[in-house]
Structure formats: structure tokens, C-alpha cells
Amino acid sequence: MIDGSRLPLPENIALTKKVVEVAHAVGVSVEGELGRITGTEDEIKVSEKESLFTDPEEARQFVRETGVDALAVAIGTAHGRYKGKPELDFPRLARIREATGGIPIVLHGSSGVPNEDIRKAIELGVRKINIDTNIREAFVAAMRRVMESNPDEIDPRKILGPAREAATEVIREKIRLFGCAGKA
């Protein structure tokens, strides 16, 4: 994953292309990023936010000129916890898919995105979905429950075991949601 999304388009293309050349030479695939995927802590107005979204025509150019294997796009998700329901720009996602010729699309910041929106995004070409916040929240919540119910516990296995199991269950649920169960 190479994130040059904060760079002007020509610089992002040049940087990503260099990474693709090096990675492909040794058989490694590359995910590039176009558009800005903000954090939920960023105080951004809607008009400003939309200006950071991935432009379908720029996506076409980016994919063509860099040779990336997957493209992370900005269509309304954000890293971290959402304060409200995220509103994904599905028409934009459809235009990006059409413009990029079916390259696998990546959705960063998908923790907290409603299941029905995830399903729709998958229908529109999303093939990789990042859900790190969901996993961390489950892990930490389980650890806290163990520590609250037994504050004198000092055995890391008894603290981290339930946390690992909670994270694993979130991952299992997401695998089913994404339609990937039994496909490994």
C-alpha cells in the first residue's frame, strides 16, 4: 500500500509508479490511494469533504499511468470512529469502477459503515474492506471486561485470550458479511 494521496496528482502518480515498478519486479502487488480518506477527528465541512473525494477521471489516469493492482478510493468513509452514520457516494463509486476498468477497489475506514452500505459497495466493485477500528474496539472492550471483573488478574493469557477471541469473532462476522466465507 502506497499512500501518495496528499500529493498533487502528478506527484502521486510518479511516486506510486516507482513503487509499482519495484514491487512488481519481485512479485508483490500494490494498492495505491487516490482522494483523501480523512479521520473522524478531522473537522471538515461537507463541501470541503466532497472536494477530497476521488475523481473518476483522475482515477482512470492514475490506474493507467501507475499500473497499481488495487485502488483505495475516498467516497465518504473516514478512519476511526464515526460520530454519525457515514454517507457513501455510491454514484461516484460506480463511476470510478467504470472509469478504472474493474480494478479491485479498496474501502478504507469501513468500521461503522452500515452492513447494507458495505453490501452495496461490494456490488459496485469494492474488493478489499478495511475494518481495523472494529477489531481494536472488540479487543479492548474484552480486555476491559476481564480487568473490571477481576482487577487482580496478572496472567496475560487470561486477559488477552478473551480479547483475542472477541477480535476473532468480529473478523468472522465481517468475513461472512463480505461474502468471503469458505473462499480461502
pLDDT of residue 45: 44
98 and 148 belong to one structural domain: no
What is the domain extent for residue 100?
1-130
81 and 66 belong to one structural domain: yes
What is the pTM assigned to this prediction? 0.85
22 and 62 belong to one structural domain: yes
Q: Which three cell numbers stand for residue 174?
A: 465481517
Give yes or no for residue 39 having a pLDDT over 70: no
Q: Which residue has the higher pLDDT, 85 or 125?
A: 125
138 and 99 belong to one structural domain: no
Half-sphere exposure of 49 (CA within 13 A, CB side): 18
22 and 95 belong to one structural domain: yes
107 and 19 belong to one structural domain: yes
Q: What value does the mean pLDDT take over residues 41-66?
A: 76
In the chain, % of residues over pLDDT 70: 90
**Cross-strand bridge partners of residue 33:** 72
* Cell numbers 502487488: residue: 29
Give yes or no for residue 44 having a pLDDT over 80: no
Q: What value does the mean pLDDT take over residues 19-25?
A: 98
154 and 78 belong to one structural domain: no
165 and 76 belong to one structural domain: no
Q: Which three cell numbers stand for residue 22?
A: 519495484
33 and 106 belong to one structural domain: yes
Give yes or no for residue 68 having a pLDDT over 80: yes
92 and 139 belong to one structural domain: no
**Confidence label for 47 from pLDDT (cuts 50, 70 and 90):** very low
Q: What value does the mean pLDDT take over residues 31-55?
A: 66
pLDDT of residue 61: 98
> What is the number of domains present in the chain?
2
Q: Which three cell numbers stand for residue 63?
A: 490506474
Question: How does pLDDT run across 112-121, given as a tens digit for each residue?
Answer: 899 999 999 9
CATH of the domain at 72: 3.20.20.70
61 and 145 belong to one structural domain: no
120 and 139 belong to one structural domain: no
Q: What value does the mean pLDDT take over residues 121-143?
A: 96
pLDDT of residue 46: 42
Q: Which three cell numbers stand for residue 173?
A: 462476522
Give yes or no for residue 84 having a pLDDT over 80: no
